[in-house]
């Protein structure tokens, strides 16, 4: 840990990209400040107090600082180590505990809540209505669940196509499983429409990221190992995900020191097989054409921090621009954080709202009809912000919109 902390040379470059610093303004809210404070506590120079914790908890773990750090300082690992100490000595905050507990141990309970969550589906066009597609601008009326409202994992097991180009396993992640059910459905449909057989390995568990973020490292490590075991056993050409944060969990967290060399080695076998959905469509399947949207539609795209961190930036945009009738507009500062950051938006709602207000301003500047991103979590938070701003734009995962275009276009031969 000391090495991780010493790595920071306090150049301050990270100040330019930190969403919480941009709102709060004081140095302790910068990555540099957080590393400094965590370092003082972890090296015993300062006591672990609620005061220090409160400051480190203002970090969204968006990793923007890491993408500009010239020396590769690992702020995320430092915060995680700190939060572990915090969890051990002061306990995990109650609110976080309830949610994390549900993800880890009470997935059944969450499952029973899923039907309510399906109200949050975000589909801009009503499915092949008798008089053609109708653009739905009134979000408040947008309550029609497309599926039964049961968790995704319990609904869809597999979709087979003849002579598949690729056999793809879909890692859903918790959000898609419980809340973003239509996103999961869209991933499967779009893959099938592009010649892939898809199945959803039922033994998958949470990617571990929320547990790392809360300092519950042991649980997180267990989940990472479990998923590595499950995914390594699959006879798949590719493993596809559709949530930026899950992507970091799948692609990087095998590298956490506590996951251990044996699993790191095992994870190497998965390297080159794990892709974000847009990345897979563009880079692996070489998709060059998509169906048109039923009506001219002004669309913009928000970069989820974690997705952009793994290098997925251009592919979703290219896909969106490919659809006929899509009028793509780039919002200013598309890559700045939306303030969601998973549990952060629950535990630090006012700050996360403040950060989101800036995002909403950027979005409104380009007057979109549909706001897309590659992260179901970002979408929820953006939707909340648009609602507060009394704006009618629809928010959807970009894959939902693509699927929507497919659904409004009859399949060839039909």
Partner 1 sequence: MASKLLQKKLSEEFKRDQVLTAKEELACYSYDSGIYTLFHYFEPDAAVLAKSVNDVIKTLAIARELKVPVVPRGAGTGQAGGALAPTGGICLDLSGWKDIEQVMPEDYQAFVRPGVTLDELNKAFAPYGLYLPPDPSSGSACTIGGMAANNTAGQRSLKYGAMDRFVMGLEVVLPTGEVVTLGGKQARVIKSVSGLDMKTGLFVGSEGILGVITGIRVKMAPVPPARAGILFLSADKKSVPALIREVYKAGVVFSACEFVLVQPSAEGTVAKNLSDLRLPSPLEMVLLMEFEGNLPGVAWELNRAKEIAASFAGTSTVAESREQMQRLWFLLDEAEGGVMGSRPGTKRTPGGEDIVVPPSRLIEALDGIQQLVGKAGVACVNFGHAVFGNIHTGLLIKPDDAEEMKKVETLIDGIHALALALNGSTTGEHGTGIVRSPLLTQEHGQAAEMMRRVKNLFDPDNIMNPGKILPADRR
> Which residues contribute to the site for partner 1 (CB under 8 A)?
6-7, 9-16, 24-28, 30, 32-33, 36-37, 40, 46, 49, 51-52, 55, 68, 71
Residue choice 41, 42, 61, 228 for contact with ligand SF4 (CB under 6 A): 61
Report the residue number, 189 or 336, with the smaller CB distance to partner 1.
336
Report the residue number, 219 or 348, with the smaller CB distance to ligand SF4.
348
H or E, element range at 308 = helix 305-309
Q: Which residue matches tokens 């975000």?
A: 122
9 binds ligand SF4 (CB under 6 A): yes
Residue 271 token pair? 């390297």
Residue choice 5, 18, 224, 236 for contact with ligand SF4 (CB under 6 A): 18
31 binds ligand SF4 (CB under 6 A): yes
DSSP readout, 317-347? HHHHHHSTTEEE-PPTTTTS--S-TTTHHHH
Q: What's the rounded Cα separation, in Å, for the pair 292 and 301? A: 18
Residue choice 38, 53, 62, 169 for contact with ligand SF4 (CB under 6 A): 62
Question: How far is residue 55 CA from its own chain's centroid?
Answer: 24
Cβ 41 vs Cβ 78: under 8 Å = no
Report the residue number, 179 or 351, with the smaller CB distance to partner 1.
351
343 binds ligand SF4 (CB under 6 A): no
Report the residue number, 32 or 175, with the smaller CB distance to ligand SF4.
32
Report the residue number, 44 or 413, with the smaller CB distance to partner 1.
44
10 binds ligand SF4 (CB under 6 A): yes
CB of 19 to ligand SF4, least distance (A): 6
With 0-12 CB in 10 A as exposed, 13-18 as middle and 19+ as buried, what is 252? middle
Question: How far is residue 36 CA from its own chain's centroid?
Answer: 28
Report the residue number, 34 or 397, with the smaller CB distance to ligand SF4.
34
Cβ 179 vs Cβ 120: under 8 Å = yes
CB of 246 to ligand SF4, least distance (A): 17
CB of 158 to partner 1, least distance (A): 45
With 0-12 CB in 10 A as exposed, 13-18 as middle and 19+ as buried, what is 298? middle
Could you tell me where the DSSP H helices lie in 165-216? 173-178, 181-193, 209-213
55 binds, among ligand SF4, partner 1, none (CB under 5 to 8 A by kind): partner 1
206 binds ligand SF4 (CB under 6 A): no
CB of 17 to partner 1, least distance (A): 8
351 binds ligand SF4 (CB under 6 A): no
60 binds ligand SF4 (CB under 6 A): yes
Could you tell me where the DSSP H helices lie in 29-141? 31-42, 50-56, 64-68, 75-90, 94-104, 107-117
> Which positions ≥6 away from 349 have C-beta within 8 Å?
none
Q: What's the rounded Cα separation, in Å, for the pair 288 and 297? A: 20
CB of 340 to ligand SF4, least distance (A): 12
Q: What is the 3-state secondary structure (H, E, C) of 256-268?
A: CHHHCHHHHHHHH
Binding segment for ligand SF4 (CB under 6 A), chosen from 12-20, 169-177, 192-200, 217-225, is: 12-20
16 binds ligand SF4 (CB under 6 A): no
14 binds ligand SF4 (CB under 6 A): yes
Report the residue number, 170 or 344, with the smaller CB distance to ligand SF4.
344
The residues of the shown chain that bind ligand SF4, judged by CB under 6 A, are: 8-14, 17-20, 31-32, 34-35, 59-65, 69, 71, 73, 75
């Amino acid at each position: 840990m000391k090495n991780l902390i010493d790595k920071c040379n306090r150049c301050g470059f990270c100040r330019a990209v930190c969403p919480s610093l941009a709102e709060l303004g004081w140095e302790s809210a910068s990555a540099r400040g957080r590393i400094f404070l965590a370092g003082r506590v972890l090296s015993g120079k300062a006591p672990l107090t609620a005061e220090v914790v409160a400051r480190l908890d203002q970090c969204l773990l968006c990793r923007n600082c890491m993408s500009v750090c010239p020396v590769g300082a690992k702020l995320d690992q430092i915060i995680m180590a700190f939060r572990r100490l915090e969890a051990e000595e002061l306990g995990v905050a109650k609110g976080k505990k309830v949610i994390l507990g549900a993800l880890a141990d009470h997935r059944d309970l969450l499952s029973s809540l899923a039907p309510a969550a399906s109200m949050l589906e975000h589909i801009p066009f009503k499915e092949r209505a008798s008089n053609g597609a109708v653009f739905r601008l009134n979000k408040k009326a947008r309550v029609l669940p497309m599926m039964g409202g049961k968790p995704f994992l319990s609904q869809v097991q597999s979709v087979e196509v003849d002579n598949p180009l690729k056999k793809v396993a879909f890692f859903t992640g918790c959000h898609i499983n419980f809340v973003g059910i239509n996103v999961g459905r869209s991933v499967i449909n779009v893959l099938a429409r592009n010649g892939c057989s898809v199945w959803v390995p039922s033994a998958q568990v949470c990617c571990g990221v929320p547990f790392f973020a809360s300092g519950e490292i042991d649980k997180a490590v267990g989940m990472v190992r479990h998923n590595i075991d499950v995914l390594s056993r699959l006879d798949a050409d590719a493993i596809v995900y559709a949530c930026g944060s899950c992507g970091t969990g799948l692609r990087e967290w095998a590298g956490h020191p506590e996951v251990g060399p044996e699993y790191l080695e095992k994870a190497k076998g998965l390297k080159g097989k794990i892709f974000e959905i847009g990345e897979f469509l563009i880079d692996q399947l070489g998709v060059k054409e998509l169906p048109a949207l039923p009506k001219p539609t002004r669309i913009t795209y928000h970069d989820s921090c974690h997705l952009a961190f793994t290098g997925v930036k251009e592919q979703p945009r290219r896909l969106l621009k490919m659809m006929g009738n899509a009028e793509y507009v780039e919002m200013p500062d598309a890559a700045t954080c939306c303030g969601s950051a998973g549990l952060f938006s629950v535990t630090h709602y006012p700050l996360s709202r403040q950060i989101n207000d800036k995002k909403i301003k950027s979005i409104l500047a380009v007057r979109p009809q549909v706001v897309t991103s590659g992260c179901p979590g970002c979408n929820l938070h953006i939707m909340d912000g648009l609602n507060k701003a009394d704006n009618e734009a629809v928010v959807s995962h970009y894959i939902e919109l693509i699927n929507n275009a497919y659904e409004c276009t009859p399949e060839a031969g039909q």
